[in-house]
Amino acid sequence: NSLTCATMTKRVLHLVKWYPNPIDPQNGIFIQKQIESVGKDAHVLGFINANFSRQVDGNTTLFGNQHISLRKKIRIFSAKVEELKPSIIHFHCYGRDFWLLLRIALFKGIRCIHSEHWSGLLSINHSRLNALNRCFIVNYFNKVDLILPVSKILEEGIKKLATKANTKVIPNIVSEASSSNQKIVSAISFCVVGDIVFSVKRQDLILKAFLNLPSSCELHFYGGGPDLRALKVLCKEKKNVFLHGRVTNKEVLQLLPNHHAHIQFSAFETFGIATLEARKAGIWAISRASFGSSDYADSSVFMAENLNELTNSMTELMTLDKTSVNNFPALKKTKIGREIELCYNEFN
């Protein structure tokens, strides 16, 4: 009770650039879950990189970023801060605009926390950052009071860039899988959940490995993105491959138990939540050891580092019966919510 009382006195404004919106209901769902873990009535202000008009839902206000100048963002942000008078501003996922908004908040004497999920900050991707962007990033992360990276590998990447960064790892929330839509599926069915981006998520390589399996198996892709059309071309006339387009996270959690295994074979992942959602749904998973979620992986997660290992893992999984459920108690909404609240309470 004392913890609850302490956090209730702290008014927190969440600032987001990724968040579920009318264009993409899956966008930043992991951020929404973390925010809701500390209160369903949280105050959220979002500048989203998509084309839509202002959306207001209770205490959440989202703007389609493409229509808004930096000057207007500063006006909107300053007005919200004046109205809410927060004691903490919680930024989620770095964006260049946040650098200036952070300076404004610190100038006003407001304590600032930052949660980070962006794969661009992984050590493997530092070479892709241009000099100017790197300068802004280093300055931002050295100035913010506390950074909450989603995994140890992301923490390492941030600390390599910003040596003064104050960090604490807060992982993603693994939501409850639903069995309400569970169907009896006779075929051995593999699924892939994520944006269709070949250079990162590598659905084209997953398809290549799958085509080595017997035609009695099925492969289901859930997600949309820039390479969806190219994937449709690759899957043309393949009767055992199915493209379902974008689905909500709630629908994903209902669909997962219908499959035999989930595959995540990205070039890199700061966390890789879909692997753990699959395990919580009681199905097998294929992942890569370099992903942040590997810290929580159990014996029902097969690691595949190359195309040959991916094919071999899929072939072996075909022969295995259904596996058990892993509930991941350390990654429950209430547990993560308490960890974030404890971070807020460090700022008296």
Partners of 243 in the β-ladder: 221
Tokens of 348: 């008296």
Burial of 41 (0-12, 13-18, 19+ CB in 10 A): exposed
- How many other C-beta atoms can be found within 10 angstroms of the C-beta atom of residue 314? 25
Tokens of 42: 């949280």
Q: How far apart are CA 121 and CA 159, in angstroms?
A: 10
The per-residue pLDDT for 184 is 58
Q: How far apart are CA 198 and CA 226, in angstroms?
A: 9
- Give the SS3 label for residue 248: coil
Report the candidate in 271, 267, 268, 265 with the shortest Cα–Cα distance to residue 286. 265
User: What DSSP designation does 293 have?
Assistant: G
- Per-residue exposure over 243-281, b if at least 16 CB sit within 10 Å of its own CB, e if not: beebbebebbbbbbbbbbbbbbbbbbbbbbbbbbbbbbb
For residue 93, the Cα-to-chain-centroid distance in whole angstroms is: 10
The per-residue pLDDT for 185 is 61
The per-residue pLDDT for 41 is 85
Tokens of 59: 């205490």
Radius of gyration of the chain from its Cα atoms, rounded to whole angstroms: 21
- Give the SS3 label for residue 54: coil
- Please say whether the beta carbons of 61 and 148 come within 8 A: no
Partners of 114 in the β-ladder: 91, 147
The per-residue pLDDT for 3 is 45
Partners of 322 in the β-ladder: none
Burial of 330 (0-12, 13-18, 19+ CB in 10 A): exposed
Report the candidate in 150, 195, 254 with the shortest Cα–Cα distance to residue 23. 195
Torsional sign, CA 179, 185, 190, 192: negative
The per-residue pLDDT for 182 is 60
Backbone angles phi, psi at 64, to 5 degrees: -70, 105
- Tell me how far CA of residue 239 lies from CA of 104, 197, 219, 260, in angstroms: 56, 22, 10, 18
Strands 261-263 and 241-243: unpaired
To which residue do tokens 């059309």 refer?
229
For residue 125, the Cα-to-chain-centroid distance in whole angstroms is: 17
Name residues whose C-beta falls within 8 Å of residue 207's C-beta, 6 or more positions apart in sequence: 219, 231, 234, 235, 241
- Please say whether the beta carbons of 271 and 172 come within 8 A: yes
- Please say whether the beta carbons of 76 and 63 come within 8 A: yes
Each of the 348 residues of the chain gets a pLDDT tens digit; together they read: 444 444 445 799 999 999 999 888 878 999 999 999 998 889 999 999 888 999 999 999 999 977 789 999 999 999 999 999 999 999 999 998 999 999 999 999 999 999 999 999 999 999 999 999 999 999 999 999 999 999 999 999 999 999 999 999 999 999 877 665 566 566 899 999 999 999 999 999 999 999 999 999 999 999 999 999 999 999 998 999 999 998 888 899 999 999 999 999 999 999 999 999 999 999 999 999 999 999 999 999 999 999 999 999 999 999 999 999 999 999 999 999 999 999 999 986
